[in-house]
Structure 1
């Protein structure tokens, strides 16, 4: 099952296991069960602390297996074969159940340990989903800390009947005690905040006690991380308040154009950003969404949790999100046929008919990727021609199961009340309305800046971007901005990093010129 190189790497990791592990497998005569059996046998051969036993009655799903710590209630369950993006989740589960140190803040560990209740999570994933591992690893970690939290990761590709029965058309999808709990990327802290309903008030109370920051950065993407590093290196009091550290990068699959890094992916890049920031004295306040800016000599940032944070200078780097088409049916069928990540959700539409809306690079790349999975792809572009690079267009037109429609305005997404079944568009040349029967719609029409919370407090462009000058200065003295949220052209990671560094240097310059006592001692 595992090649020699992977076995060597895994053996090195398993040397960190300090407590015995029992893997309990439930198999049948299927090819997938045989594949899983081979994987588990390989794992068993790599560590004398791991034992594999087969018990068909242990799990209702087959193939499935649990990783247990004998003599305790600690264990995690996988239904399917956790390879692809989930192989890391498997390795971490083995290490954590085997007693390896869990890398979380002690306060977070204690909060998980003190959760009062019984929680049975089922998380549906696809092995090609780059957002799924964070959810799987978060829940697995929580279950090791608190055995009253039970978790099962279900590969939707292995159990398509369940996917169909539960109308799952987006992953990761979480169910708690049989009821829908949430979908999309979620960290330990985000899941914990939903389980521990009093956590928000406690966090707000703690945040309100914090002293004024010299530089307060809003947003934890590449621009925010660079700003934090440059500020901290000046020896001034630096804070980062972020809805989720990593930002939009977390939703990016391949990164091949960041200078000096030949190839990586978004989640790995985000982890590297956070680790670099943590090398300095930076106060990171995660899972806190900014809702209001009150400018002043000392500006205030109000959060959704009720906290008020203060900064002698502020750098806004809240980034952007997927742009919606804003037609009837889009919101109603989001995650029920309307999707925004072809890499994550594409496998759920295997053998079905889908549409991709958008003829830029993202849209054409999505259509190419989906064409290898689905029965047919209809690409719909508003303009008179596609805008993607020529090499992508050539590849697209070579595919026999792709139809391209230009000069088309999407007007409605239809469904049967549970999931998408059609899309309507207007032919912009003839004015005729036409309908395409399908099961999925992937929206790929660019980004919209996260600036709704800033309206009335700061100058925004007609596109909602923060207007900045060459130094990252906004219309408000002492408030700077950087990255995709600004009017700076070319939304690229490398540009966001540079703009974050520049805004931080400009903020420092503002501080030293403002007054003698501005910089914290």
Structure 2
């Protein structure tokens, strides 16, 4: 299962085990079970502190399953399926945590996880090609490792297809708690704790209330926000960074090939490096917090209000809230989100294996999605509103030469069609003939650009009609002492490297403002 290089690397990690751990594998004689047994055997052979038991009895009603536990303890972390692909890291971390190797997660979040008092049985359905799924798997695994009231189970939808069908799961990750759906999509440890800890908002608000005023408060944790925080902190001024999730849109990006000096990387990896870099400096990072208002305070400070009611104060503010996927805003779209309407082809594509799907949008993201999906699904129909595709010529040529991709131009999607809780098709209007057509599809992947995350600033700052924050060459907004950077602004070309540059500009602009005022 593991090649020589992976064994060598894993063996080095396993040297960090502080106590013996046990693996329990439930097998049912299937090919997948034999793969899991082989994987577990190879892992056990790498370190004397690992014991392995094979059983033909299902674990929690499932097989194949691998349970991971501290020796002589009941297992609380389970992998139903083969934890390879993107989930191999989740397996490695689970092994280390069972062996009492400390987590690098924020200590405050670990303490919050330890303090949960009710019984929580998490299950998360994943696909091994999903780059968002490991965040959820690793988060619930850590909670389970820290708290004896919690269990965590990763379920590979490709192996347990009957469960996926019965639960009508059409998007991953799908997180269940005690048998009921808790959340869909990417979730951080802080997000999950906020969902299950009834006192989370009150605790967070109390902690925020005790914070001293900042010199610079950055709102947003994407490339622009990280760059702003680093440049501000390097000036030796009190810097804070608050964000709903660190990484923003980059967390959802798979391949990145245009980040100068790095020929290829992936979004989650770049996000990890960004956060690691920010933590090298004295930056107060506050995650899983949503900003709902910005205003001038009576004392001359800027006030940033959070959804939990807390108010942070700062001499200057840098807004780097980024953007999110644009929606079609047609009947049926909201109703069938995560039930066939998707925004991540890499995550959810495998769930539509052998089925027809549609991609909305003929830009780079849309055509790339169509090409990726074509290797998995039965057929891809691309609907482009304009009369020409906006994607790069090399992508268009590839799509046009792929047998199971059909491209329809001048097509305006008008409705998502569904039945029995799932997508069955869509309607579109031919903009040349005004005729209405129906396309039978099981999934619809929306790839039509981005919307700035600026709604809370509508009556506060000057915005364009598209919602972008108007900034000058120094990142200044229409409110004195407030700066902005990245995709939320009028800065042209929504690119990672451009956002980083604008973040540095905004931080230097804020520092200059502090000096002069």
TM-score by length of 2: 0.98
Paired residue for 1:91? 92
1:110, CA displacement in angstroms? 2.0
Partner residue, 1:72: 73
User: Given that residues 68 and 78 in structure 2 are in contact (C-alpha distance below 8 angstroms), is that contact kept between their aligned partners in structure 1?
Assistant: yes
1:27–1:64 contact (8 Å) kept in structure 2: yes
The separation in 1 between residues aligned to 2:226 and 2:444, in whole angstroms, is 34
Pairing 1:164–2:165 present: yes
Task: Give the drift of 1:261.
Answer: 1.9
In structure 1, the residue matched to 2:234 is 233
Q: CA deviation at 1:58?
A: 4.2
Task: Give the corresponding residue for 1:81.
Answer: 82
Q: Give the 4+ runs in structure 1 shifted more than 4 A.
A: none
Instruction: Encode CA deviations 1:127-168: one digit per residue, 9 max, x unaligned.
Output: 000000000000001100002111110000111111111010
Q: Are residues 1:470 and 2:473 paired? A: yes
| Residues 25-174 of structure 1 mapped to structure 2, 5 A cutoff | 25-59=25-59, 60-174=61-175
Q: Deviations over 1:172-199 (max 9, x none)?
A: 0011111001011111111111111111
- Counterpart in the other structure of 1:378: 381
Deviations 1:411-444 (A, max 9, x none): 0001014100010000000000000111000000
Name 1:242's counterpart in structure 2: 243
The secondary structure found in structure 1 opposite 2:123 is strand
Cα distance in 2 for partners of 1:231, 1:105 equals: 22
The answer for the alignment partner of 1:276 in structure 2 is 277
Contact preservation (8 Å) 2:27, 2:58: no
Write the distance in 2 (CA, Å) between the matches of 1:443 and 1:208.
40
What is the rounded CA distance, in whole Å, between the counterparts of 1:366 and 1:356 in structure 2? Answer: 7
What TM-score results when the alignment is normalised by the length of structure 1? Answer: 0.97
Q: Post-superposition shift, 1:105?
A: 2.9
Instruction: Summarize deviations over 1:243-273 as a string: whole Å, max 9, x none.
Output: 1111111111111211122221111111111
Residues 210-255 of structure 1, C-alpha deviations (whole Å, 9 max, x = no match) = 1211111110111111111111111111111111111111111111
The yes-or-no answer on 1:442 pairing with 2:445 is yes
Query: Which residue of structure 1 aligns with residue 345 of structure 2?
Result: 342
1:219 counterpart residue number = 220
CA distance in 1, matches of 2:105, 2:488: 30
Q: Distance between the aligned counterparts of 1:26 and 1:454, measured in 2?
A: 54
1:508 and 2:511 equivalent? yes
> Is structure 2 residue 366 aligned with structure 1 residue 325?
no
Cα shift at 1:394? 0.8
Q: Deviations over 1:460-518 (max 9, x none)?
A: 0111100001110111111100000000110001010110001000000001101xxxx
Three-state SS of the structure 2 residue aligned to 1:121 is: strand
Contact 2:78 2:153 in 1 (8 A): yes
**1:125–1:173: 8 Å Cα contact kept in structure 2?**
yes
**Structure 1 gap segments, 5+ residues each:** 515-521
Contact 1:396/1:402 (8 A) holds in 2: yes
Does the Cα contact within 8 Å between 1:143 and 1:151 map onto a contact in 2?
A: yes
Residue of structure 2 equivalent to 1:518: none
Deviations 1:341-366 (A, max 9, x none): 00000000001110000000000000
1:74, CA displacement in angstroms?
4.7
**Alignment partner of 2:429 out of 426, 443, 446:** 426
Question: Equivalents in 2 of 1:500, 1:417: separation in Å?
Answer: 47
Contact (CA 8 Å) 2:382, 2:406: kept in 1 or not? yes
Give secondary structure in 1 for the equivalent of 2:62. Answer: coil
Residue correspondence of structure 1 range 488-507 to structure 2 within 5 A: 488-507=491-510
Given that 2:231 and 2:508 are in contact with CA atoms closer than 8 Å, whether structure 1 keeps it comes out as yes
The equivalent residue for 1:206 is 207
Conserved 8 A contact 1:221-1:319: yes
Unaligned runs of 5+ in 2: none
Cα contact 1:223–1:499 (8 A) shared by 2:
yes
RMSD: 1.0
Select which of 485, 488, 505 maps to 1:485: 488
Preserved contact between residue 69 and residue 75 of structure 1 (Cα < 8 Å): no
**Cα distance between partner residues in 2 of 1:55 and 1:440:** 39
Identify the residue that residue 517 of structure 1 maps to in structure 2: none
Aligned to 1:7: 7
Counterpart-to-counterpart distance in 1, 2:507 and 2:112: 34
| Deviation digits for residues 248-305 of structure 1 (CA, Å, limit 9, x no counterpart) | 1111111121112222111111111111111111111111111111135311111111
* C-alpha distance in 1 between matches for 2:178 and 2:480: 51
